[in-house]
Structure 1
């Protein structure tokens, strides 16, 4: 076991810088896919409805970003509606959120959001996540789902 530790340490040192560089890569805009769930099953015939809050945090301490689109898609992948009437500019370290209420099951079990943002100067990628909760006021299921960048626009694109 002790013989494996130096190799593991070397591997971790090689991986961490690459991941850190990816996290700190700045972009002019991105498309972020965020999974969401309108209900979860505890038995084949029993499920709990969930409210979903999509939160987007501008983590860049110096650069504003503009949310240009927040689309809500059903589990079949079809567009259901836009959750953003007009673009919203987030100042450095500012956040915003939108709610899909507990009684809205239009997205099905595996709904999702597609968040589009842009910036005039390169900015850090925001954190986009869905927070699902039973909303019953008592103990119930609550969990988060982090978004994943599926398209990145950088200078020169």
Structure 2
């Protein structure tokens, strides 16, 4: 029995269903890829303000650095959480001695909306270590601001960097 005009739609639906059920290249590999490390130095962009409108008016934002230990069985040691301004000058050190972050634990540093010391190009540099290979922590910064009924929020991901010896 011939169904005019319906066959292409049916073929598309079948191909779509088969494609959804087919694992992609990452799922098809025999061993999953986990990011493990004994320590890193991580650069995290912070936007304490963004510019809006044709006059490029600054829109102040609060920023929250979030550090999340993703390892269910191992602690990690935070050795530095440093905040730098747009010019690369150290504004403040947030820890003076190493801090232990337990399995699946999180910590944060908050920069208030009115704190403009970092400027548009502010950043955190976070250093951490572990005694053995552990799941790499999630280190990111959440920026949020509200003014006159308008709000903005976004997240910037930390990026591992290599420090000069």
Output the TM-score relative to the length of structure 1: 0.79
Dislocated runs of 4+, deviation >2 Å = 14-17, 135-139
Unmatched tracts of structure 1, length 5 or more: 1-11, 153-157
RMSD over aligned Cα, in angstroms?
3.0
Partner in structure 1 of residue 45 of structure 2: 35
Query: Is 1:72 matched with 2:83?
Result: yes
Output the TM-score relative to the length of structure 2: 0.75
Q: How many residues align?
A: 145
Describe how 1:1-157 pairs up with structure 2 within 5 A. Answer: 13=25, 21=33, 24-43=34-53, 44-134=55-145, 138-151=149-162
Shift in Å, 1:138: 5.0
137 and 121 in structure 1: CA distance in 2 versus 1, 3 angstrom threshold: farther
Shift in Å, 1:25: 3.1
Larger Rg: 2
C-alpha distance in structure 2 between counterparts of 1:68 and 1:106, whole Å: 23
C-alpha distance in structure 1 between counterparts of 2:82 and 2:71, whole Å: 23
105 and 87 in structure 1: CA distance in 2 versus 1, 3 angstrom threshold: same
C-alpha distance in structure 2 between counterparts of 1:137 and 1:36, whole Å: 23
Shift in Å, 1:135: 5.2
Partner in structure 1 of residue 17 of structure 2: none
